[in-house]
Structure formats: structure tokens, C-alpha cells
Amino acid sequence: MKRRIVALGTVVALGFGLSACGGGGAGSDVIILRVALNQTETHPSYVALSNYSDRLEEQTDGRMRLDIFPNETLGAQAEVLQLLSDNIIDLGIISGSQMENLSGDFLVLNMPGVFDSVEHQMPVVHDPEIVGELYTSLEDSNDITVMGGFTQGSRHIYTKNKVTSLADLDGVKIRVQESELNLAMIRALGGSPTPMAFGEVYTALQSGVLDGAENNEVSYFTQKHFEVAPFFTNSNHLVGLDYMVASTEMLEGLAPEDRQLLEDEWINTYEDHIQLWDEATQEAIEGAQAGGAEWVEIDQEEVRAALEPLADEFLTTPTQRQLYDKIRAAAPGQED
Ligand code: GCU
């Protein structure tokens, strides 16, 4: 059987008008899907993607696999979204905050308080009844399709100087992901938000451009932010979400059985990630503490109350409200 390589996994070709990328074609083509990630090779998202690739390869006799580019090698997430839209790369792990900049409906899933926990979040973000329309809503305008999500777990604030109450955040420059909701979130907590791409945070903390940042334990550890911001305040202000975003053109170019396999194995991938996440969070806490980080408690009720008005401020359309209500109704303990 004739085999043709339809995707070239060479990063050097990017930006120089490479066109033969993406899956596409008949079931006999060799399909190498390029995936952009802004995390290190030790991060659970990298591990889950790499297991995903192994399973695809095994099930297709080596015909289909992923080529994963970690550490923002293909650019920060905002740039990666553009590469996906242009079908220059195939897949990318993109934070909800970036998606929010493309469509206000994604903002609903980034709202502090919308998810109680990872256990609430993961079934919701893979429930077509709730998110089906949202995930295909950018196909016409941006040529991207959302396949599902990886949790970011709970996000917390960490700083160079100790923060034990919201009053301590006064005038403190906290890095946020680039979105209006993130800016408002840190303002509501009393701090001064500074939007910045993920990969720039370590240096900015080190040089004092930032006084702190907010993220989960895993990124705090794997990005080594604990070295330059050693106080980790358990604020639990948001259960964050990363999306698996695909180039729609790539998906539509796949043979139906290849697309089915990609989608079926994605289910195993996010389930794998959930397991990996818990272990990685524990390891991150231990690792950061061994590296000198100190965990600081804060009144989480005060945090929750400070963030509560954001929903009314930001959820302004009936679609946003309905989505929010559906997600809240699916919270453990809220179901009929
Ligand atoms: C987490 C998340 C990333 C995101 C990052 C950030 O690490 O998994 O997708 O880019 O937070 O704060 O920018």
C-alpha cells in the first residue's frame, strides 16, 4: 500500500510558508499531528499527550502519531491560536483565558466560582449537552474546533513577599493571563494585575517587574517560579481550564475512521490527565517546599466573597447566563 507523508514535523519550516501540514487525506497516509504546548516535558499535560501519541501509533501500526512541541517552542498561546486558525499546526493546548478573547461565551468557564472542583469541571467540559455548541462555535469564524479540556486544577496566588490577607495585596503587581476577566479578578482581590505571556513570568518575577503571579501548584513548580516567588498563598480563587484546540481544516481532512480514533483516544487522554494531575500536584507541593517555598493560608471565604460580583458584571448575554446556570446545576450535590 502506498504511504505518503502528509505532515512534516519540522519546526524550522514554520513561518516559511509550509503548506503540507495537517492530517488530511486517505486512511493510508502517514499522519503526524503537530501539537503546541507551553509546559515542560515533566508537566502532566505533556505526559498525557505523549501517552496519547503512543496509543494512536499502536492502534494504527505506526501510521498516526503526535509531534509535541513543549516549552512554547511554537510561540505563546495567543500566537499558537493563530497558527491553528491558519492550519499551520494541528493541535494546541490553550488556556481558557485566550479563548475568552475570541468569544465571550468561553468566559463563562473561566468565571471564578463556576466550578467547585476538578470533579465538577471535567464531566462538564466533556458533556456535549452543555458545551457542544460552544466547542464548534469558532469553526466558521476562526477555523478551530475544541475537542475537550485538561484541568488546570485550582489556581492560587504566589508572591515574593508574604501575603496572608487580601489587604496585603494592595499595590502588589500580580501577573495575570491576558484577558479582561483576569484583570478584574486580581483587582477584585485588591492587587494590581499585570497581563503577560506565561513564558515571561519567571524573568519578570526575578527582576522585580512583578511582585507575584497566580497559577496552580504544578506550574509553580515546573516553571520554577517558587525560586523567585517563595510564598504560595492558598487562595483557591479559580478552577482553571485548558482546552485541546484543533484546526478544523485538519479534522475535516482526516479520513472518518482516523478522526474517530483521534476523538476516541482523546477521551482516554483527558482521563489519564486527571489521574496524572493529582499525583503531579502532590509532587509539586513537596518539590516546591523542598526548594524553600512556604505555603500560606488565607481566608478563602473572603476571597470567594470578593470575587462574587464578577459574574453579574461579566455575564451579560442570555447565552452566557444559560451556560453558567447549566454548569452550576451540574455541580456535585446540585443535580436533580
Ligand atoms: C497554566 C495553564 C496554561 C496557562 C498558564 C498561564 O499553566 O495550564 O495553559 O498558559 O497557566 O497562567 O498562562
23 CA → ligand 1 middle, Å: 27
Residue 334 lies in a domain: no
pTM of the model: 0.92
Three cell numbers, residue 54: 503512543
Residue 105 lies in a domain: yes
- DSSP assigned state of 118: H
Task: Say if CB 158 and CB 233 are below 8 A apart.
Answer: yes
More confident position, 117 or 333: 117
**Host domain of residue 239:** 11-329
Identify the weakest region by mean pLDDT among 4-18, 48-62, 166-180, 321-335.
Answer: 4-18
Q: What is the pLDDT of residue 101?
A: 95
61: CATH: 3.40.190.170
Residue 280 lies in a domain: yes
The residue among 97, 29, 94 whose CA lies nearest residue 65 is: 29
Q: How far is CA 275 from CA 46, 66, 268, 278, in A?
A: 14, 21, 11, 6
Q: What is the pLDDT of residue 29?
A: 81
Position in ligand 1 atom list of the atom nearest CA 197: 13
Ligand 1, atom 8: closest residue by C-alpha: 152
- Model confidence over 17-51: pLDDT tens digits? 223 334 434 456 899 999 999 999 999 999 999 99
183 CA → ligand 1 middle, Å: 15
Number of structural domains (the chain) is 1
Q: What is the pLDDT of residue 336?
A: 53
Q: What is the pLDDT of residue 40?
A: 98
123: left (phi over 0), alpha (psi -120 to 50) or beta: alpha
The residue among 126, 92, 91, 125 whose CA lies nearest residue 109 is: 125
Position in ligand 1 atom list of the atom nearest CA 45: 8
Question: Could you count the other beta carbons within 10 Å of the beta carbon of residue 245?
Answer: 29
Where does ligand 1 bind, in terms of residues with CB under 6 Å? Answer: 38, 77, 95, 152, 177, 198, 215, 219, 242
Q: Which parts of 104-197 fold into alpha helices (H)?
A: 118-125, 128-136, 139-142, 180-188
Q: Which parts of 291-317 fold into alpha helices (H)?
A: 300-307, 309-314
220 CA → ligand 1 middle, Å: 10
Tell which one of 74, 91, 242 to mutate to probe ligand 1, the residue whose CB is within 8 A of the most ligand atoms. 242
User: Angle at the Cα of 261 (from 13 to 99), degrees rounded to 5?
Assistant: 60
Burial of 242 (0-12, 13-18, 19+ CB in 10 A): buried
Tell which one of 198, 210, 225, 237 to mutate to probe ligand 1, the residue whose CB is within 8 A of the most ligand atoms. 198
Task: Say if CB 99 and CB 92 are below 8 A apart.
Answer: no
Position in ligand 1 atom list of the atom nearest CA 214: 12
Tell me the pLDDT band of 2, cut-offs 50, 70 and 90. Answer: very low
Dist CA 102 CA 79 (whole Å): 13
1 CA → ligand 1 middle, Å: 43
- Judge whether residue 141 has pLDDT over 50: yes
Tell which one of 98, 106, 177, 217 to mutate to probe ligand 1, the residue whose CB is within 8 A of the most ligand atoms. 177
Residue 129 lies in a domain: yes
Residue 336 lies in a domain: no
- Judge whether residue 4 has pLDDT over 70: no
Mean pLDDT taken over the chain: 92
Q: What is the pLDDT of residue 80?
A: 98
76 CA → ligand 1 middle, Å: 10
Task: Say if CB 142 and CB 80 are below 8 A apart.
Answer: no
Q: How many residues are recorded in the chain?
A: 336
Task: Say if CB 190 and CB 167 are below 8 A apart.
Answer: yes
Q: How far is CA 40 from CA 63, 134, 223, in A?
A: 26, 29, 8
More confident position, 333 or 238: 238
Position in ligand 1 atom list of the atom nearest CA 242: 9
Residue 179 lies in a domain: yes
Ligand 1, atom 4: closest residue by C-alpha: 95
Ligand 1, atom 3: closest residue by C-alpha: 95
- Judge whether residue 323 has pLDDT over 80: yes
